[in-house]
Chain A
């Protein structure tokens, strides 16, 4: 539980807010490359951290992210003509390039001279892993691009999707630090149909899956320069411990673990505005290509984890607030804990209805021992936002290499006396 003022500080990311200024030190996903698929394609509307923008790909294939209104008389550039290396306003033909320079003013006799004086807001963009990343912060800061492992993986080893969430970014981010809810919200009933609570989790019948049935893990947070590692530890057979480590990378990136060799998950919870979030989701496998079965499950198989099912042709979830996430009460009685199909929709049913307000009121809650990750993340975010107000720039924004880490899920021997994070296997796996 935190104060109302702290809740405001944590959740609001508009341009003038402390958290908004903090977020604007980082490169963040702004749209998918597929939204502007080819040179001179139609421009698209983009909203990020409450700022309305237009994205377009010019004749040379470069992506621009610019203010949505022409500086002449504020006509909407969304309807502009994307042609010959720039976006041209359809009102009087003024034209802008991806850097926001005005390159033509055909409606003025002295347009050649005048155009040098006209500039519009344009944010730098880079494309990695099928995402157009943008930097919306102050110019001239030596910020670095985050070196995620998937940036350099071949195309067939990553799989990306995105979807809209109708709630504030933080409550979605917090969900990632809550290892406990998996054993409830995302679980299935025992096959005999009688036992409530947790049953065969969708991970199958492996030892790992069976261990996750222990719904009260021992949670341990280790703070790092880039955020934290959150270990959920559960006792396993022969004195071993099964440990799943979630990575949180400032400001909004999370990585969810699987055992070595299996496909990993990265998410970015990017504020669209204070009441909506875009989740960008990359499943990636450092060891092999993503296979057909996985791709099917990511998109369709409603009961599998990490599935996102959007309304075709959009990034809006099929199961949403307006249709009660298509909750099926018979399914809830007989088979799945929630009665809602799809991991993503199950989470959304919680996050989009967490208290009566779109921004969850954190003065009204009753936190337990399992919420330690959530508490630590809030403290960290409050600290870094306040630090920046005092002039202390965020370290990870200037050190892209910090982002070259993995999540991990391993069984390890608890008897050699070394702390978990000092285990050779863990050190080798986590820090690349």
Chain B
């Protein structure tokens, strides 16, 4: 439970807000590379942290992210001509480069040579890594580095990235990602159905067998490590171990048929604020062990795969406006929610809390410990107002999630240490 003041502090990310300032210390995932696929491609609209922007790639392939309105008379550069090293306003032909400098004012004498230098549009630095356009919206004096998640440096066939528009505040989306307990309910089959399902899947069977995981939380330099423990027979625990990485990343544990997640791919999410009432839910995956098949690439990383179906703007076809196409008959007989996809099930609960959930009206239990820890950590950072060390160390993001069965005497962080370290490509048995 939070006071209304703390709730605002946690959720508001516009320019000048404390949380907005914190977010602006980090490089943020802004676009899929495929949205601005090549030199002189169509410029597109982009909104992050409550700021409207235009993104394009110039003739040399350089990415520009600039404010959307021409300095002259505020015409929208979305309609601009992207050509010959810059974006040209269609109103009077004023032209800007990827850094927001005005290159040409053809409607003024001598191309505005005498006054061009007075004009500069706001522009944010960006870089393309791992199929994603990353952007930095913070002060230029800070030497921030993009996070070095494992997928970023993997070959294209060993990683996937897809995003989905969510109609709710980023923080409740993160909280959904941290909540390991809901897996046994929201994403489950009805009990009758579960019994008749294949018994091969350790994870599925364990979720359904023990619906009261015990959470252990360890603060780390990147955020925190969350272990969710379920009983796996005598003196053995089934651990699903995930990370929360500042400011909005959550990892998903690998699904595996064996006792450990060696050899399994894993997912992570980023919940990037569009504004206070909307966010992008990114689903990223890494397979350090092998290339994905075509089918797996499609399933993990396309609009029609696991996180979809999505339309051309990455808005879900099953969404708030059509009640996620809930099927009540299916809900009675087969699935717990009656809603088709994992992503749709999550979106349903997160969006239906309201655009910003009122955290002064809730009743948290033992299974919500990770959520409480997340809020405390972020509020403490925001209230301290200090510059963070983490954004300067991209390598601190080099972690993996894990699923593993451990002896009950063994602490989860040391027991799974090798599994959790992305720098170790071949972890010891």
Residues of chain A having any CB pair with chain B under 8 Å: 178, 180-181, 183-185, 196-197, 215-216, 324-325, 327, 329, 332-333, 337-340, 346, 349-350, 353-356, 360-361, 364-371
Known: A366-B72, A368-B115, A369-B109. A184 touches B91 (CB 8 A): yes
Q: Which of B11-19, B75-83, B241-249 contacts A (4 or more CB under 8 A)?
A: B75-83
- The tally of residues in B whose CB lies under 8 Å from a CB in A reads 31
Decide if B107 touches A180 in the complex (CB within 8 Å): yes
Does B375 lie at the interface of the complex (its beta carbon under 8 Å from any beta carbon of A)? no
CB-CB nearest 3 A-B residue pairs: A353-B76, A355-B74, A184-B93
Decide if B106 touches A364 in the complex (CB within 8 Å): no
Report the separation of the CA atoms of residues A197 and B104 in the bound assembly, to the nearest whole angstrom.
11
Does B327 lie at the interface of the complex (its beta carbon under 8 Å from any beta carbon of A)? no
Decide if A350 touches B91 in the complex (CB within 8 Å): yes
Known: A355-B74, A368-B115. A196 touches B90 (CB 8 A): no
Q: 16 A–B contact pairs at CB < 8 A?
A: A183-B93, A183-B107, A185-B92, A196-B84, A215-B93, A325-B79, A332-B81, A337-B81, A340-B90, A349-B79, A350-B75, A350-B79, A356-B69, A365-B72, A368-B115, A370-B92
Decide if B52 touches A327 in the complex (CB within 8 Å): no
Does B405 lie at the interface of the complex (its beta carbon under 8 Å from any beta carbon of A)? no
A184-B91, A339-B81, A349-B79 known, 13 other contacts, Cβ within 8 Å: A183-B93, A185-B90, A216-B107, A216-B108, A329-B42, A333-B40, A337-B81, A338-B90, A339-B79, A346-B90, A353-B79, A354-B74, A356-B52
Contacts of B79 in A (CB 8 A): 324-325, 327, 338-340, 349-350, 353
Report the separation of the CA atoms of residues A153 and B84 in the bound assembly, to the nearest whole angstrom.
50
Report the separation of the CA atoms of residues A195 and B88 in the bound assembly, to the nearest whole angstrom.
13
Contacts of A360 in B (CB 8 A): 73-74
Decide if B81 touches A367 in the complex (CB within 8 Å): no
Report the separation of the CA atoms of residues A356 and B75 in the bound assembly, to the nearest whole angstrom.
10
Identity of the chain A residue whose Cβ is nearest the Cβ of B112 in the assembled complex: A368
Question: Within the complex, what minimum Cβ distance (angstroms) separates B73 from chain A?
Answer: 5
Known: A196-B84, A197-B106, A215-B106. A354 touches B76 (CB 8 A): yes
Report the separation of the CA atoms of residues A185 and B109 in the bound assembly, to the nearest whole angstrom.
18
Does B119 lie at the interface of the complex (its beta carbon under 8 Å from any beta carbon of A)? yes
**Which among B88, B105, B106, B115 has the greatest number of chain A C-beta atoms within 10 A?**
B106
Does B235 lie at the interface of the complex (its beta carbon under 8 Å from any beta carbon of A)? no
Decide if A366 touches B71 in the complex (CB within 8 Å): yes
Question: Within the complex, what minimum Cβ distance (angstroms) separates B58 from chain A?
Answer: 14
Report the separation of the CA atoms of residues A338 and B75 in the bound assembly, to the nearest whole angstrom.
12
Does B118 lie at the interface of the complex (its beta carbon under 8 Å from any beta carbon of A)? yes
Decide if A196 touches B72 in the complex (CB within 8 Å): no
Decide if A196 touches B81 in the complex (CB within 8 Å): yes
Query: Among B74, B92, B112, which residue has its beta carbon within 8 angstroms of that of A180?
Result: B92
* Interface of chain A: mostly helix, strand, loop or mixed: loop
Report the separation of the CA atoms of residues A205 and B346 in the bound assembly, to the nearest whole angstrom.
62
Contacts of A361 in B (CB 8 A): 74
Query: Among B40, B91, B119, which residue has its beta carbon within 8 angstroms of that of A181?
Result: B91
Contacts of A216 in B (CB 8 A): 106-109
Report the separation of the CA atoms of residues A162 and B8 in the bound assembly, to the nearest whole angstrom.
47
Decide if B105 touches A355 in the complex (CB within 8 Å): no
Report the separation of the CA atoms of residues A319 and B344 in the bound assembly, to the nearest whole angstrom.
33
Known: A197-B106, A215-B106, A337-B90. A368 touches B72 (CB 8 A): yes
Decide if B88 touches A364 in the complex (CB within 8 Å): no
Question: Within the complex, what minimum Cβ distance (angstroms) separates B352 from chain A?
Answer: 27
Decide if A369 touches B108 in the complex (CB within 8 Å): yes
Decide if B69 touches A184 in the complex (CB within 8 Å): no
Interface positions, chain B 36-87, Cβ under 8 Å from A, are: 40, 42, 52, 68-69, 71-76, 78-79, 81, 83-84
Report the separation of the CA atoms of residues A178 and B79 in the bound assembly, to the nearest whole angstrom.
19
Identity of the chain B residue whose Cβ is nearest the Cβ of A364 in the assembled complex: B74
Contacts of A350 in B (CB 8 A): 75-76, 79, 90-91
Question: Within the complex, what minimum Cβ distance (angstroms) separates A337 from chain B?
Answer: 6
Contacts of B75 in A (CB 8 A): 350, 353-354
Identity of the chain B residue whose Cβ is nearest the Cβ of A366 in the assembled complex: B71
Report the separation of the CA atoms of residues A286 and B308 in the bound assembly, to the nearest whole angstrom.
61
Report the separation of the CA atoms of residues A310 and B108 in the bound assembly, to the nearest whole angstrom.
35
Identity of the chain A residue whose Cβ is nearest the Cβ of B52 in the assembled complex: A356
Question: Within the complex, what minimum Cβ distance (angstroms) separates A333 from chain B?
Answer: 8
Decide if A185 touches B69 in the complex (CB within 8 Å): no
**Which among B78, B81, B105, B118 has the greatest number of chain A C-beta atoms within 10 A?**
B81
Identity of the chain A residue whose Cβ is nearest the Cβ of B69 in the assembled complex: A355
Question: Within the complex, what minimum Cβ distance (angstroms) separates B151 from chain A?
Answer: 31
Question: Within the complex, what minimum Cβ distance (angstroms) separates A75 from chain B?
Answer: 33
Contacts of A349 in B (CB 8 A): 76, 79, 90
Decide if B83 touches A368 in the complex (CB within 8 Å): no
Report the separation of the CA atoms of residues A333 and B84 in the bound assembly, to the nearest whole angstrom.
11
Contacts of B83 in A (CB 8 A): 196, 333
Decide if B108 touches A370 in the complex (CB within 8 Å): yes
Report the separation of the CA atoms of residues A219 and B282 in the bound assembly, to the nearest whole angstrom.
53
Question: Within the complex, what minimum Cβ distance (angstroms) separates B81 from chain A?
Answer: 6
Report the separation of the CA atoms of residues A349 and B81 in the bound assembly, to the nearest whole angstrom.
13
Decide if A366 touches B81 in the complex (CB within 8 Å): no
Report the separation of the CA atoms of residues A185 and B92 in the bound assembly, to the nearest whole angstrom.
7
Report the separation of the CA atoms of residues A355 and B106 in the bound assembly, to the nearest whole angstrom.
21
Question: Within the complex, what minimum Cβ distance (angstroms) separates B55 from chain A?
Answer: 15
